[in-house]
Amino acid sequence: MTCRAVTGKIFCRHHMEGHPENRERFRLALSGVPHIVRRLDPVPAEERDLERVHRRQYLAWLRGMSAGECYIDFNTYVCGDSFEVARYAAGSAVLAAGEALDGHDCFALVRPPGHHAGPDRASGYCLLNNVAVAAAWALDSVDRVAILDWDLHHGNGTQEIFYASDRVLFCSVHQAEGYPGGGKPGETGEGAGRGYTLNAPLEPGAGIADYRLVFSDVFCPALGWFRPDLILVSAGQDALADDSKAVMRLRPGDYGILTRMLRETTDLPLALVLEGGYGPSLGRAVNAIFRALGGRPIPEEPSPPAARSTRDLVRMLKRVHSW
């Protein structure tokens, strides 16, 4: 395999016993990395990289809050190492983006996750927006970056950061009416960024046929129109049927199918960054992603057809976004 993985033991140091976003789910994700994949050591993000995305006052506040263990909102915690670990998560996302620009698929298996973090706030287990930091870093040297978010939850922080930009195409497929709210089809961007945000909220119970339809009829054509220089994936695998959230019906191999669809659309190497995923089959889903990146076949199981609500959503999105 020519793909790489960026990961390291430092990501176990952000931990709170009993919280679903803990080091055990990280170890489960790592169990899916094939032994033949080259592993790269994580690196911390530089301050200027963080400040492209996050306000300086917020970074200072977060650093101070990480002096001890506490909750900073109703579901997001910090401990003594959290700020340093988050810096390494963001820096490793940058490293994965650099590998992709150099021609190698790369998966940054990091934590804490990032796509809910906004310019001046932590949220939804997320402290720093890893994918956004990587995208902003890449825009120093390329013209256009696409971010595709397949996490169960809407990437509200990422959307907010790039909502007015025409240099970032943000595509999110997520649970309708789920946490954190928002992510509706009518949220398409503002100013120069109008039309560069695509939201596909799926009804609970969606399976691979629903996701596949969104990808084939909306996201992949948008990537073809946008012609990005880099594709970043907010890779949260919490839409698995055995996840503790248990509202979607994806199977581990389905993430390989989605990965293959993206890889074949533009032929660009992918930079993936771990987001959510809390079920027992998380490691198998990660393995399916690597199988797809390595060009290995992905077994496909029979599945129900796409729901009528998904077909209606896709028709609406094609009317709203005409490429």
d(CA 270, CA 112): 21
Distances (CA, A) of 262 to 104, 114, 127, 143, 243: 15, 21, 27, 20, 24
**Rounded distance between C-alpha atoms, residue 115 and residue 128, angstroms:** 8
Joined tokens for residue 89:
């998560």
For 253, residues 6+ apart whose C-beta sits below 8 A from its C-beta are 284, 288, 298, 299, 300, 301
Q: Which residues are catalytic?
A: 116
Q: Which tokens in the block code for residue 160? A: 């907010």
Q: Which of 131, 106, 105, 100 is nearest to 118 (CA)?
A: 131
Place of tokens 């976003």: 21
Token pair belonging to 289: 């992603």
45 vs 134: CA distance, rounded Å: 9
HSE, side-chain direction, 13 A CA sphere, residue 194: 4
